[in-house]
Amino acid sequence: MRFRSYSCTVLGSLLLTCSLYGQTDNAALIEHLGEFYAEDRDENFDFTELAERLEFYRQHPIDLNRTDGSELRELLFVPELFIGNLLAHRHASGRLVSVYELQAIEGMDLELLRMLIPFVEVNTPGSLSEVRARELLSEGAHDLMVRYGRMLQRQRGYAIRDTARSRYLGSPDRMFVRYRYHFNRDLRVAVNMKKDAGERFFSGAQRQGFDFYSGSVYMRNQGHVRDLVIGDYALQFGQGLAMWSGLGFGKGATLQQVAKQGTGLRPYTSSNEVLFLRGAAATIALKPNLSVTPFVSWRKLDGSMEHAADSTQLVGSLGQTGLHRTPSEAANRNALQQWVYGLNIQYARRRFTLGATAFRTEFDASIKPRPRLYTRYAFRGRSLWNASLYYSGTVRNVYFFGEAAHRIGRGFAFLNGAMLNLHHRLSLVLLHRDFHREYHSFYNQAFAAGSAAVNERGFYSGLAYQLGRRVQWVGYVDVFRFPWLRYRVNAPSGGMDMLTQFTYEWYKRAKASIRYRYRRKAENAALDLPENRVVDVNRQQLRIDGQYTLDDRWRMRSRVEFSHYRKEGTPTEIGWLWYHDVIYKPMSSRFSGNVRVAMFGTPSYQSRIYAFENNVLYAYSFPVYHNRGIRAYVNVRCRLQRKIDLWLRYATFIYRGVDEVGTGLNASTGNQRSELTVQLRIQFD
Amino acid sequence: MIGRWLILLLISTKAYTQTYTGTRHQAMGGTGTALQEIYSLTANPAGLTRLDQVVVHVAYRQHFLSTEITGQTALLGIPTRLGNMGVRIHRYGLQDAYEALHGGVVYAKPLGPKLALAISVNFHQLRIPAYRVDRSFSADAGLQYHIREDLVVGIHYQNIGNMGYERVYGVVPSTLRIGVGYQLGKVILTSDAVYDLTRTLDGRAGLEYALTAALWLRGGFSLYPLQQYAGFGLAWDHMVVDVATTFHPRLGISPQMGISYAF
């Protein structure tokens, strides 16, 4: 019994390395979940969607008696084994009477309980049908947030007046407007409007005002209609090989993230301008265990347009940044149209899920990547069909998961894995993948060492061990091969990623961790040789992190990190970073805030170090620290009235020994780069 | 013939390829310095002290499926009142091209309930048909210490004095291994650090999970060379069948199967 009752404990506590003293901290969760994503893919990725999701479930807790598990999966830290146990417990014992009954369910431990409690409750009122329409406005909650930000130094792109040259067309102001309307948890309206720095506002390509508009109406739990979204939405099925739009973490930073927990249909509420769908979709429950999700999407994408000899339109590459600041970026904006339509069928019975997805992606122009050897198997043409089959299930102490996806007429992609609780203190995670080089899906965000799940074979094995209550060890080894060429790698290549981390925790008081990570990948040699050569690039990271809770208001946090970079033919680099954070968060005060002071030194961008930064609400990021200098920021939150909040942020980089920061249009004179952000949130009924 | 030679030279630059690793130990990432069983004859003979039955073992290994390089092994462990005795014979090579033969006699003795010591005297022969034959002798020493019943540390010094062949190109590996074994319920975790006299250090880790009383699942990895390992063991009456495979990212897989019988 003891074995069983602890069966998910270790997996559950894998996230606890972000340590949550007494109360769960959204920022800590986001830092832990999103860390590798920023390093491997996009440092500018916006984690609003996750931040908002956590905040939403804090304010509208998940009803444990009604959930089918999908909302718990959205939290991203609840182990699938535990979700299975919870549903089985409810099936066997009936409705839960109190959230504290969770303690009786296999797999729950004190830490997981502490994390989960703010997000769950039992017994909530019935469905929307019991509410009259006129009550919607009186009982719903409105949430309006406006954010403004600006870099204080003038960048070169704004100074250029010559219309023949590339330049920033708009102002350096950043603006973001976010409106939400929630009625209980069953009806939500979301609107986002965004202008990036350098983009025009009510003129030029952005004649309609903001550069990016996004909106959705979301309803759920209405009879047979489990979820319905009109507007922007995200679909997440299986392991992300075929259809995983919206928030995806690729490889993920925790062992638990290795098994993706698909949330199905959800509204898309992020300000990232790529990887979402726009149109309508619904999840309809045909039977209690069987649901179908038809979806249709039409939207405009960015792309570099060219004209072929026969005057047909060609697209060299699709835009991935959502930035439309320069004449060429503005010209590529909304250059081509994309239709996506398809169907998902999912059968879920207690601890077992089986699903299938098929969808077609079409463009109004032909995609034709540059004729390079490494793009030989890349997608070409105007349309493609994708199909996938996926499964997951729990048998005793093992959670199995996997997906097989096919680009019709071309390649396949396979991913299979298991999470095993070998002992109540020891968990093992295994994952094997084989992605053919001809496989392609535009919504592919599966676990991969490369930037997408294509042209890769690999095996990942990870262990988490809880040495008593205080010490935890996590380690993994991922070995992979890329059978075909890649961007900047002119030969088939391979690599590895290895991590080992110890964490020591003083209950509710402090935490210290030490991490070592080693990564090896191949890259074209920088040497000027008569022949093309591919050499190994080795990156090592050593991190010592400490947090200390002084009392229920003050918290300290400090980190020292070293990075080591070695590539044949280039100088070996060692970079370092030190920072100290002071966090002031009283339970009841009009003011809260945090401050960071950091020093860093890296010989070049190659030995750069990423570090999570606190920001105004929802705007968390992992900026890169490189070169030599000092970083400092201060965030202040002021509660003006009960439902009106104001955030202020000032952040600056001061570099040593330079008289210009940045490159190209982004460059500014002087050795400093500072940003100011103001955010106002008004909530009203 | 030249092609075969080249392959052999390429893949035997690391001495480990010629060092026999027991099937169970291979599946656990090439660890085993702190384990106790018949396979201790191939990793750390001090582990033989816990043997309480006569055990015979034979194994066959294919080095990289695409080659014709094979290995065959026979092990014998005998518990006696004076201490435990063991014999091992291992052949490695390419038929009619290159053949290495290693034999050894082991004596292992417990010194109290926690400490075990062992020595091994070995014979090595390297034969290259139509060229020449060379022979050599070496000695190993091993130690195991049981810090707790579930936590063991082992040290093994292979080829003390770094003996080698004189007349042909060939290596009698000389390594120093330090390993830890930890039992956690149905799981055994092992980790070895292996230092060889070519001044390379390898880190290895392995895991065994007893799915049932008669079925074990195993896995592991080694860092240098970077390889992953997997395997299983199946017990039936007096017999245990072990299967293991090494996955090398470039060279492919090397399977091994071993059968043990306890009298």
Q: How far apart are CA B115 and CA B112, in angstroms?
A: 6
* A124: confidence class by pLDDT, cuts 50, 70, 90: low
* A585: confidence class by pLDDT, cuts 50, 70, 90: confident
| Closest chain B residue to the Cα of A397, Cα to Cα | B211
- Tell me which residue range forms the domain holding A244: 2-684
* Interacting residues of B80 by C-beta distance below 8 A, sequence separation 6+: none
Contact criterion met (CB below 8 Å) for A235 and A277: yes
The amino acid present at B254, given as its one-letter code, is S
* A78: confidence class by pLDDT, cuts 50, 70, 90: confident
CB-based burial of residue A580 (10 Å sphere; 0-12 exposed, 13-18 middle, 19+ buried)? middle
* Interacting residues of B68 by C-beta distance below 8 A, sequence separation 6+: B4, B94, B95
| Structure confidence at residue A533 (pLDDT) | 86
Count of C-beta atoms within a 10 Å radius of residue A658: 14
| Structure confidence at residue A44 (pLDDT) | 65
Residue B100 parent element (H or E)? strand B98-111
Check whether A357 has a pLDDT greater than 80. Answer: yes
Residue of A513, A450, A517, A520 whose CA lies nearest to A487 = A450
Q: Is B148 on the interface with A (CB under 8 A)?
A: no
Provide the 3-class DSSP secondary structure of residue B237: coil
Candidates A397, A434, A479: best to mutate against B (most CBs of B within 10 A) is: A479
Check whether A7 has a pLDDT greater than 90. Answer: no
Please report the ipTM that was assigned to this predicted complex. 0.80
| Structure confidence at residue A38 (pLDDT) | 66
Check whether A137 has a pLDDT greater than 80. Answer: no
| Closest chain A residue to the Cα of B252, Cα to Cα | A481
A495-546 pLDDT, tens digit each: 999 999 998 988 778 889 999 999 999 999 887 777 778 999 999 999 999 9
Check whether B16 has a pLDDT greater than 60. Answer: no
* Two tokens, residue A402: 């996997």
Among the residue ranges A77-81, A326-330, A346-350, the one predicted with the least confidence is A77-81
* Interacting residues of A231 by C-beta distance below 8 A, sequence separation 6+: A190, A214, A215, A216, A217, A267, A278, A280
With an 8 Å Cβ cutoff, are A428 and B207 in contact?
yes
The amino acid present at B43, given as its one-letter code, is A
Provide the 3-class DSSP secondary structure of residue A498: strand
| Whole-number Cα distances in Å, B153 to A311, A520, B114, B146 | 74, 31, 10, 6
Average pLDDT over residues A478-491: 92
Q: Is B226 on the interface with A (CB under 8 A)?
A: yes
Average pLDDT, chain B: 87
Q: Label residue A198 left, alpha or beta by phi (over 0 means left) and psi (-120 to 50 means alpha).
A: left
Higher pLDDT, A47 or A216: A216
Q: How far apart are CA A580 and CA A31, in angstroms?
A: 16
* Two tokens, residue B186: 């149905």
Indicate the number of domains in chain A. 1
Nearest to A423 among B184, B219, B223 (CB): B184
Q: Is A459 on the interface with B (CB under 8 A)?
A: yes
Average pLDDT over residues A462-482: 88
CA of A453 to nearest chain B CA: how many angstroms apart?
19
Q: How far apart are CA A6 and CA A465, in angstroms?
A: 13
Check whether A247 has a pLDDT greater than 90. Answer: no
Q: How far apart are CA B103 and CA A370, in angstroms?
A: 61
| Closest chain A residue to the Cα of B185, Cα to Cα | A423
The backbone torsions φ and ψ at residue A665, rounded to the nearest 5 degrees and listed phi first, read: -65, -25
Provide the 3-class DSSP secondary structure of residue A211: coil
| Structure confidence at residue A128 (pLDDT) | 53
| Closest chain B residue to the Cα of A483, Cα to Cα | B250
Average pLDDT over residues B228-235: 94
* Interacting residues of A89 by C-beta distance below 8 A, sequence separation 6+: A104, A105, A106
Among the residue ranges A395-399, A662-666, B66-70, B259-263, the one predicted with the least confidence is B66-70
With vertex at residue B193, the alpha carbon angle to CA B188 and CA B199, rounded to the nearest 5 degrees, is 160
Provide the 3-class DSSP secondary structure of residue A71: helix
Size of interface A-B (CB pairs under 8 A): 39
* A140: confidence class by pLDDT, cuts 50, 70, 90: confident
Please identify which residue in the block is written with the tokens 């093994």.
Answer: B156
Average pLDDT over residues B115-139: 89
Higher pLDDT, A355 or B4: A355
Q: How far apart are CA A640 and CA A629, in angstroms?
A: 36
| Closest chain B residue to the Cα of A465, Cα to Cα | B184
| Structure confidence at residue A441 (pLDDT) | 94
- What are the residues facing A567 on neighbouring strands? A537
Q: How far apart are CA A11 and CA A421, in angstroms?
A: 8
Contact criterion met (CB below 8 Å) for A454 and A267: no
* A630: confidence class by pLDDT, cuts 50, 70, 90: very high
Q: Is B212 on the interface with A (CB under 8 A)?
A: no
Average pLDDT over residues A356-373: 92
Average pLDDT over residues A81-98: 83
A204-242 pLDDT, tens digit each: 888 999 999 999 999 988 889 999 999 999 999 999 999
The backbone torsions φ and ψ at residue A606, rounded to the nearest 5 degrees and listed phi first, read: -65, -35
| Whole-number Cα distances in Å, A621 to A38, A416, A624 | 8, 31, 10
With an 8 Å Cβ cutoff, are A423 and B219 in contact?
no
With an 8 Å Cβ cutoff, are B185 and A423 in contact?
yes
With an 8 Å Cβ cutoff, are B186 and A422 in contact?
yes
* Interacting residues of A398 by C-beta distance below 8 A, sequence separation 6+: A418, A419, A420, A421
Average pLDDT, chain A: 86
Among the residue ranges A165-179, A435-449, B58-72, the one predicted with the least confidence is B58-72
A144-203 pLDDT, tens digit each: 999 999 999 999 999 998 888 999 999 999 999 999 998 876 899 999 999 999 999 999
- What are the residues facing A342 on neighbouring strands? A295, A359
Domains of chain B: 2-262 (2.40.160.60)
Nearest to A459 among B186, B223, B228 (CB): B228
DSSP for residue A443:
B
What percentage of chain A has pLDDT greater than the value 70? Answer: 92
Helices and strands, number each (H, E), in chain A = 10, 33
Average pLDDT over residues B187-202: 89
Residue A141 parent element (H or E)? strand A141-151
What percentage of chain A has pLDDT greater than the value 90? Answer: 53
CA of A515 to nearest chain B CA: how many angstroms apart?
17
Q: Is B113 on the interface with A (CB under 8 A)?
A: no
- CATH classification at residue A574: 2.40.170
A11-29 pLDDT, tens digit each: 444 443 333 333 447 777 7
The amino acid present at A629, given as its one-letter code, is G
* Two tokens, residue A273: 């301008």
